[in-house]
């Protein structure tokens, strides 16, 4: 990774043609990009289909003349690479540059997990974000401090502060975020980490993205309500509106 153009990569145990389809089919994109909300379909169309340049033969996709996906066969896997553009010099745009970089880092982990573990089946997602008390973190709030120092492939069992008994494996450890599998959710994937400091977020923040598979409506509604109530009761939370 360079200062001018960060490169984000993940190796996916699938053929390039499979991963390429996951980048070009809107129904598949929503199974790894972002989270469930009313505007997701519009977001996917704007990012992946409006003003893009694609070369299916070379497995390259340039988004809005900025971020570029490229797929590369590597030791029986597909290396998915996102090359980011340099910072523009526009303070308003550059203020969110690190957020976009971290967002791509997150979504590539969900792409890898979704393809390898579920063949990009349907999922349900829960997204939580906001300020935390000074010196606090999503990891600590979740009660996952024991994951500190663990590496990819390490197994863990912990009772989270949400009340859930979580079993799983560490899937990704980055500078600002971590992703772990959760066996009882399909398995699901839980990502948590820091939000970058910017003008709108002068003290930074925390975010959590949880994807679950094979839960029925009642099971999901109970989990969703419990996690949202826990998050709103955290130290440093803004008053509910």
Take residue 147 and report the two structure tokens written for it: 């994951």
Work out the average pLDDT over 206-213: 98
Q: What pLDDT is recorded for position 240?
A: 62
d(CA 34, CA 106): 9
Instruction: Give pLDDT, residue 1.
Output: 43
Residue 3 is predicted with a pLDDT of: 54
Identify the pLDDT of residue 2: 45
Question: 63-118 pLDDT, tens per residue?
Answer: 987 899 999 999 999 999 999 999 988 888 899 999 999 999 999 999 999 999 99
> What percent of the chain shows pLDDT beyond 70?
97
- Complete domains list, the chain, with CATH: 1-121 (3.30.530.20), 122-235 (3.30.530.20)
Residues 37-63 have a mean pLDDT of: 97
CA distance 67 to 23: 13
CA distance linking residue 8 with residue 22, whole number of Å: 17
pLDDT recorded at residue 241: 54
Percent of the chain with pLDDT over 90: 84
| pLDDT at position 51 | 94
**Mean predicted confidence (pLDDT) in 3-11:** 87
User: With 50 as the cut, is the pLDDT of residue 58 above it?
Assistant: yes
Q: How high is the mean pLDDT of the chain? A: 94
Kindly tell me if the per-residue pLDDT of 134 is higher than 60: yes
Cα radius of gyration (the chain): 18
What is the rounded distance in angstroms from the CA atom of residue 144 to the CA atom of residue 153? 16
Task: State the chain's maximal CA–CA distance in angstroms.
Answer: 51
Q: Mean of the pLDDT values across residues 219-237?
A: 95
pLDDT single digits (tens) 176-206:
999 999 999 999 999 999 998 888 888 889 9
Whole-number Å distance between alpha carbons of 48 and 28: 12
Alpha helices in the chain (DSSP H): 16-24, 26-29, 40-48, 91-94, 97-118, 138-142, 217-232
């Amino acid at each position: 990774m360079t200062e001018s153009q960060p490169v984000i990569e993940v190796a996916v145990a699938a053929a390039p043609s499979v991963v390429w389809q996951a980048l070009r089919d809107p129904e598949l994109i929503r199974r790894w990009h972002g989270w469930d909300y009313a505007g997701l379909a519009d977001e996917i169309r704007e990012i992946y289909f409006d003003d893009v340049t694609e070369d299916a033969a070379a497995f390259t996709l340039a988004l809005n003349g900025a971020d570029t996906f490229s797929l590369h066969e590597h030791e029986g896997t597909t290396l998915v690479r996102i090359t980011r553009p340099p910072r523009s010099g526009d303070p308003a745009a550059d203020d969110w540059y690190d957020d976009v970089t971290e967002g791509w880092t997150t979504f590539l982990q969900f792409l890898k997990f979704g393809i390898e573990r579920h063949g990009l089946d349907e999922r349900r997602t829960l997204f939580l974000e906001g300020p935390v008390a000074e010196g606090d973190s999503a990891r600590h709030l979740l009660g996952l401090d024991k994951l500190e120092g663990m590496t990819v492939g390490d197994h863990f069992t912990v009772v989270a502060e949400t009340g859930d008994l979580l079993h799983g494996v560490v899937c990704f450890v980055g500078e600002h975020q971590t992703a772990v599998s959760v066996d009882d959710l399909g398995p699901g994937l839980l990502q948590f980490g820091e939000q970058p400091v910017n003008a709108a977020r002068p003290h930074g923040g925390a975010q959590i993205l949880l994807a679950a598979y094979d839960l029925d409506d009642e099971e999901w509604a109970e989990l969703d309500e419990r996690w949202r109530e826990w998050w709103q009761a955290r130290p440093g939370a803004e008053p509910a509106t």
